[in-house]
Chains A and B, each alone.
Chain A
Amino acid sequence: MLQFDRVKLPESSDALRAEVREFLAESAEHLERPNSDFTTGHDPAFSRKLGACGWIGMTWPERYGGAGRSFFDRYVVTEELLAAGAPVSAHWIADRQSGNLILRYGTEAQRQHYLPPITRGESYFSIGMSEPNSGSDLASVRTSARRVEGGWLINGTKLWSTDAHRNHFMIALVRTEPVSENRHAGLSQIIVDLKNDGAQIRPIRNIAGAEDFNEVVFEDVFVPEDRVVGEPGNGWEQVTSELAYERSGPERFLSAFRVFVELVRAAGDQPEPQLAAAIGRIGAHLMTLRRMSISVAGMLDQGKSPNVEAALVKALGNDFEKRLPEIARLAVTDLAEDDPRHRSFRQAFTDTLLLSPAFTIRGGTREILRGVIARGLGLR
């Protein structure tokens, strides 16, 4: 049976939380259209301000620009930013996974080169995993890197790379050896400089009309030797090692949070019973999901690898963040069209609903996660 321990955030987190709230209160110009989805709001100026506060890469050692703080502290900062609907997309992937990967598997020179600018909120990373024919079946990637004099020559196409047209780097999962019997072997992770290496980047319009994700085409793109992260051939282990970090964070159940805020605003302080019940229902779900997410953070803090628990939090959280706007829209019925609360609710609702199909796809589809959970339950 899966276990979600009773984990409490440390007392010291209260002071940090207050600091973040104060910072957010002074950042009104970055919060004109708040959205709790971590992929919206690419705002380099905001990211640099966060970096100046020491809140990017904050768990990394100080010698790389980090703050040596605990995983719980990072949890507090990220959930406060998401709840406020702050524009975190620029630095999010670098902070959450690219930097951690470089810290764990990179060379000393790579750490010194890549990490400090990330912590300053100046250097942004995109994910380079999916391809036209590789989505959930990630090990089937075909983008190749061939060893040449002084480096590697990359050929292939990466897909759905969020913000690749705006960010500086991509960590691409590529095949550096031909497919063998062990399909997880022969994969490597290589850092691509999106501004300078010559990859062709084409934004793809999504159903919300935004151009956030991209197709990135490599045609004999040369990257120097020192861009490989970790051991060539070790890519699969590296890619899967951070799954628990990627999957259990607050961004997996808070994406629709601003709709809840607008629902409560629309409801006023004395809602009728059905509206009150809708608010309470959402609140009860969020309280529980957040505690489950913090339980996983606690396991990670203890050095455990709660991959199944993380998959469960993500699956449960994603399903709920999709249901939240649905509960809210049926609960808000009595607002006059010209009530400003009507407009702010509709805007948050529309912005979130149009993004919501992505909630249960990105970072591991619902179907993949359910498979992970089932195997964790001993079903196979």
Chain B
Amino acid sequence: MDDHDTLLTDAAARIFGDLCDKALLDAAEQGEFPAALWQTLRENGFHELGLADSGVSLAQAFSVIRLGGRHALPLPLAEIVLANRWLGDGERLASVGRVMGERVVDVPWGRSAELVLGLEAGRSGCVLVTPEPDTVTRGCNMAGEPRDAVAIPAGADTIALTEPAFEYLTLGRIAAMAGCLERVLELCLGYVNEREQFGRPIARFQAIQHSLAIAAGEVAAASRAADAAVDALDDARFELEVAAAKARVGEAAGVVAEIAHQVHGAMGFTHEHQLHHFTRRAWAWRDEYGNEAHWQRRLGRHLAALGPDRLWSFLATRG
């Protein structure tokens, strides 16, 4: 990572850390658009990180998206960055969903978006929709993040996409999950060192230590898998690296969230505690843009087609 990368990620970490407090996360979950956060992101150019002339590589943009996951950023940074990239300018609060019948569904903050891109499975283009109050049906995922449906008007414009949009958005979830899981582990480490039972911090108990050792293994695996998928952005096997990463990170999310809640005890089960903002996101993101089984099948079909004699060659990459 060179200095420029570090400057960018340092700035993102500071801004996300300052603004994404529990009050903001709670308010966003109640449906209140985080306008001040959006304003700050715009002022700092985060919404246009994906533009060809931004001076920032796509890999770096995913580093920032990962930090967003680490702070449970209550805005769909991956969608904003990628939509503006595909639109060719960076002015808008744009979001992305997928076309189902006459609607674009699962649109993060569709209700507040200025423009929505609807992706169609198997098509390289997407439809452009400007949401109106009477065309948006509100919904949310299990983390309370808005996931709206937007009706597609007759004669809506379409644009061509040359990049693998589904895979890029999947990578957005992968990166955000990796960041999110790191934060969950940190919350665990902080909690078990503070919480005392039987006259000592529960961190001293071997049962707790071993649970967190397992969680640390999963977090490290998620992180390495996410990095590998980002590294493959320009590679012919990008889609398969995304498949491996989403499958692996999804498995890690389930294990880490389970352990995190166990070591936090009843405290972590309360709405008042911040843990759930991260664990619910990890749970929700597992199922967005294809769950583990979806991507395992995709990778598995490819490996099966290669057959037993070419299997190892596929796995034994240099990077």
Contacts and interface: CB of A to CB of B under 8 A. Distances in A.
Please indicate whether A and B come from the same complex rather than being unrelated chains: yes
Interface of A: 1-2, 4, 6, 8-11, 13-14, 17, 79-80, 83-84, 257, 260-262, 264-265, 267-271, 273, 275-281, 283-292, 295, 309, 312, 315-316, 319, 367, 369-371, 373-374, 377-380
Contact of B224 (A262, A273, A295): A295
A379 B189 contact: yes
Contacts of B311: 260-261, 264
A379 B316 contact: no
A72 to B, nearest CB: 10
A262 B316 contact: no
Nearest to A262: B308
Residue among A264, A278, A295 facing the most chain B CB atoms (10 A cut-off): A264
A367 B297 contact: no
Contact of A380 (B203, B299, B300): B203
Contacts of B296: 276-281, 284
Contacts of B185: 1
A371 B207 CA distance: 10
A257 B311 CA distance: 11
A42 B229 CA distance: 39
B147 interface: no
B95 interface: no
Contact of A267 (B186, B203, B208, B304): B304
Contacts of A13: 318
A249 to B, nearest CB: 14
A290 B315 contact: yes
The B interface, classified by DSSP as helix, strand, loop or mixed, is helix
Contacts of B251: 281, 284
5 contacts: A8-B318, A280-B243, A291-B228, A316-B220, A374-B209
A35 B313 CA distance: 18
B210 A380 contact: no
Interface in B301-318: 301-308, 311-312, 314-316, 318
Interface string B269-313: 000000000000000000000001101111111111111100110
A83 B228 contact: no
Given A11-B318, A379-B192, A312 B228 contact: no
Contacts of B316: 17, 79-80, 83, 290
Given A264-B307, A284-B225, A288-B221, A367 B210 contact: yes
A279 B293 contact: no
Contacts of B220: 2, 4, 292, 309, 312, 316
B319 interface: yes
* Chain A at the B interface: SS class: helix
Size band of the interface chain B makes with A: 35 or more
Query: Most chain-B CB neighbours within 10 Å: which of A4, A10, A287?
Result: A287
Interface stretch (B24-32, B36-44, B116-124, B211-219): B211-219
Interface in B202-249: 203-204, 206, 208-210, 212-214, 216-221, 223-225, 227-228, 231, 241, 243-245, 247-248
Nearest to B294: A277
B182 interface: yes
A264 B247 contact: no
Closest 4 CB pairs of A and B: A280-B300, A280-B296, A276-B300, A374-B209
A284 B248 contact: yes
Given A279-B303, A291-B228, A380-B204, A374 B213 contact: yes
A371 B204 CA distance: 11
B193 interface: yes
Interface string B132-148: 00000000000000000
Contacts of A290: 315-316
Contacts of B216: 2, 312, 373, 377
Contacts of B221: 288-289, 292, 316
Contacts of A285: 248
A285 B243 CA distance: 11
Given A284-B225, A288-B225, 17 more contacts: A4-B223, A79-B316, A264-B308, A271-B300, A276-B304, A277-B297, A279-B299, A280-B303, A283-B303, A288-B224, A315-B213, A319-B217, A370-B214, A374-B210, A374-B213, A377-B189, A379-B203
A283 B228 CA distance: 14
A283 B316 CA distance: 11
Contacts of B301: 270-271, 276, 280
A264 B300 CA distance: 9
Given A288-B221, A312-B217, A373-B213, A283 B299 contact: yes
A6 B300 contact: no
B299 A315 contact: no
Contacts of A316: 217-218, 220-221
A251 to B, nearest CB: 15
Nearest to B182: A1
Nearest to A6: B227
A265 B307 contact: yes
Nearest to A80: B316
Given A280-B295, A374-B213, A377-B189, A287 B244 contact: yes
Given A4-B223, A13-B318, A284 B209 contact: no
Nearest to A378: B189
A225 B265 CA distance: 59
Of the candidates B193, B204, B206, B217, the one having the most CB atoms from chain A within 10 angstroms of its own CB is B217
